[in-house]
Amino acid sequence: MASGGGHHPDLLNDDRMGRMLDTLYAAGVTEVFLEVAREARQAFPFPVRALHADATSFHVHGQYEGLGRLLSRGFACEADARRALEEASARLPYHRLVYLGVQEERRRGRVGRPRKGEAPLSVSYRLLARLGS
């Protein structure tokens, strides 16, 4: 295993891993994942259809079952996405949805880098949100 950065591999043990996982959990796993995905997207601007950064994978039951559809749905504008989030959050009995942002998705007729001035065929907006208490 490559340890990199001059760290000795013996320093990687179950106690350190446990503390690291506790720190990650305290920071918010979803928030950290979204920030890493956002930074990667900015550093490597490849087509959105080649990107899979789904932080919305969770299983819910009862009144929460529509959340997966809400978070995977495309909206015509950011305002529609925010309005749908507020309406869905108001229907939840014990939690609220915390708005994390909107991801713009541009669709073009071909793969590869867009030509200068090329307009997308369509633009939609996808909600980024998480359950809060």
Q: Tell me the pLDDT tens digit for each residue of 13-59.
A: 878 888 888 888 888 877 888 888 778 878 877 666 555 555 555 44
* Structural domain total, the chain: 2
Residues 42 and 64 in one domain: no
Does 92 reside within a domain? yes
35 shares its domain with 63: no
Enclosing domain of residue 78: 56-108+119-133
Residue-level pLDDT at 54: 56
Pair (92, 124) in one structural domain? yes
**Boundary of a domain, candidates 27, 46, 65:** 46
Together in a domain, 21 and 86: no
pLDDT for position 2: 46
Check whether residue 34 and residue 84 sit in a common domain. no
Strand order in the sheet with 74-75: 74-75, 122-132, 96-107
Answer yes or no: is 10 within a domain: no
Measured between alpha carbons, how far is residue 31 from residues 58, 72, 88, 130, 131 in Å? 14, 18, 21, 9, 12
Does any domain span residue 28? yes
Based on the fold, state whether residues 33 and 95 are members of the same structural domain.
no
pLDDT in tens, 77-110: 888 988 888 888 888 777 777 777 788 888 877 7
Query: Does one domain contain both 36 and 62?
Result: no
81 is a domain residue: yes
> In this structure, is residue 114 part of a structural domain?
no
Please name the helix (run of DSSP H) or strand (run of DSSP E) that holds residue 36, with its range, or none: helix 29-43
End-to-end CA distance of the chain: 41
pLDDT at res. 28: 82
Same domain, 41 and 68: no
- Each residue's pLDDT tens digit, 2-26: 445 666 777 778 788 888 888 888 8
**Residue 37 domain-assigned (yes or no):** yes
Residues 32 and 90 in one domain: no
6 domain-assigned: no
Asked if pLDDT for residue 61 goes beyond 60, the answer is no
Residues 65-79: pLDDT tens digits? Answer: 667 778 888 899 888
